[in-house]
Structure 1
Amino acid sequence: MKILIVEDEVKVARFLRRGLEGEGYAVDTAADGVTGEQKVRTNSFDLLILDVLLPHKNGFDVLRDLRTDGIVLPVLMLTARSSTEDIVSGLDSGADDYLTKPFSFDELLARVRSMLRRSASRTELRVADLVLDTVSRKAQRTGRTIELTTREYTLLEYFMRNEGKLVNRQQLARDVWGYDFDPGTNIVDVYVNHLRKKIDAGFPSRLLHTERGQGYVLEHRPGVK
């Protein structure tokens, strides 16, 4: 599970990062609203911990813009302000939960675990600007619908659920095609190439990468076109 912490107080950010990494979560941080929003838009996170009072762009505005653009990851807002008005503003902006400073790490951890459990059954997968709806079985990138065959959909869902992980041909043959052995054909490579053309061709950045002699990785790599 990957968590992004957007917090400008260095000590608080370090405290949260150490604690969450100690619980086995992968953690990234940002110290201002603009950088945090950009990281959400170009990476895939399972949870966002978002402070309200941030440099350059406050947490309310960051969250409101993310929600307006259809980004649905769970968000826990942090603030030193405990007024009902502030809490309502956060929830109206699209926050899933709200925690007032100071708080104990155990309290934050309980909120994080609860939110991740609730989101485990989510029906939308997202890698950068690529979105897959697992109910309608439709894919979109930058708002453009991508037509997929049944096998291409299954392959894309597998890659998206394994974002950032290197998967080899044997794994794909087993998990996508149901083969318990090497089928002895290039069927995996053919389908991966077809899928790559559909999700990458004509878009500003490449998401499906080939690691020669090893396999494939679906992830956003800044600067790779």
Structure 2
Amino acid sequence: MELFDLTGKVCFVTGAGSGIGQRIAVGLAEAGADVGGFDTPSSPGLAETVSRIEALGRRAIALRGDVTDEGSIATAISTLEAEIGPLTTAVNCAGIANAAPAEDMDRAQWQRMYDVNVTGLFLCCQAEARAMLPRGEGSIVNIASMSGVIVNRGLMQAHYNSAKAAVIHLSKSLAMEWAQRGVRVNSISPGYTATPMNTRPEMVHQTRAFEDQTPMGRMASVDELVGPAIFLSAKAASFCTGVDLLVDGGFCCW
């Protein structure tokens, strides 16, 4: 359908080497987009992402850098535009997660969470908007978390929860700054999702708890984040900005 067709779009996806970011990068290509996948120099999966996109007949490029480094983000976007075309769409998936009791948490652990998940995401949005705003058109989608809306039972992650709440409100704030200049900004807040991080063998008991706590009785697959990302990036969502789309299997209803 034309409403969900991304043919002709040039997308920049951070965290594209694994998990949700990799699947969304490939999913945008499945909808017709050409994609620049951005991840750290040590990411082993970025080459696979590019191969999967090229197998679909779409153009793809691997871009390496750090979301906390303004220079590497700017260079990545410049390279993408020089090799594929003007940036129209961005999905910011890069992020980290860990846990520690608040009273014992080292300041460096707290700071690193905010450096990557909040400051890094802001720097990406800023660089993306600098490319989009002069053209008066663009879409930015930020991956937040239901942990920015609720507090997860049994998980001691005050730094992660508050950082994801910041992502949601940052997205709304940027949406309002750029609403009349043609750039839409929205966020997706996934619930428990079966990424490699959440399905390690040592996580089996925690995974069962995640499933038991979710009304639909299971975790999401990474495939189930593709539709929301396409929707918010496409013409179908042309009047949506400042939206936080919960994709949580009903978790936040309880």
TM-score, with length taken from structure 2: 0.25
The structure carrying a bigger strand percent of its residues is 1
- Structure with max Cα Rg: 1
With a CA cutoff of 8 Å and minimum separation of 6, indicate the structure with the bigger relative contact order: 2
